[in-house]
Amino acid sequence: MSDNIPFELQVEIIKRVPVRSLLQFRSVSKQWKSLIDSSEFITHHTLNPTQPQHLPVSYIGLSEIKYVSIVDDDSFPRHKFSPTVSPTAKLLTHPRMIASSHGLVCLCGFAYELNKNLIILWNPSIRKSVEIELPNKLNALGFGVCPKTMDPKIVRITRRTNAQVYTLSSGAWRRVSMNLCVPPGFTFCSYQV
pLDDT tens column, 9-21: 888 888 878 777 8
- Percent of the chain at pLDDT exceeding 90: 5
**Which residues are 141's β-sheet partners?**
156
Question: Per-residue pLDDT for 130 more than 60?
Answer: yes
Tell me how far apart the alpha carbons of residues 135 and 151 are, in angstroms, rounded to a whole number: 22
DSSP string, 25-70: HTTT-HHHHHHHHSHHHHHHHHHS-SSPEEEEEEEE-SSSEEEEEE
How does residue 191 score in pLDDT terms, banded at 50, 70 and 90?
very low
Cβ atoms of 173 and 165 within 8 Å: the answer is yes
Nearest one of 157, 119, 121 to 138, comparing CA atoms: 157
How does residue 159 score in pLDDT terms, banded at 50, 70 and 90?
low
How many CA atoms lie within 13 Å of 122's alpha carbon, on the beta-carbon side?
22
How does residue 167 score in pLDDT terms, banded at 50, 70 and 90?
very high
Grouping H, G, I as helix, E, B as strand and the rest as coil, residue 12 is: helix
How many CA atoms lie within 13 Å of 158's alpha carbon, on the beta-carbon side?
13
pTM over 0.95: no
Tell me how far apart the alpha carbons of residues 78 and 71 are, in angstroms, rounded to a whole number: 6
CB atoms within 10 A of CB 62: 5
Q: Which helix (H) or strand (E) holds 144?
A: strand 140-145
Question: 153 or 38: which carries more pLDDT confidence?
Answer: 153
Measured on CA atoms in the order 82, 85, 91, 94, is the torsion positive or negative? negative
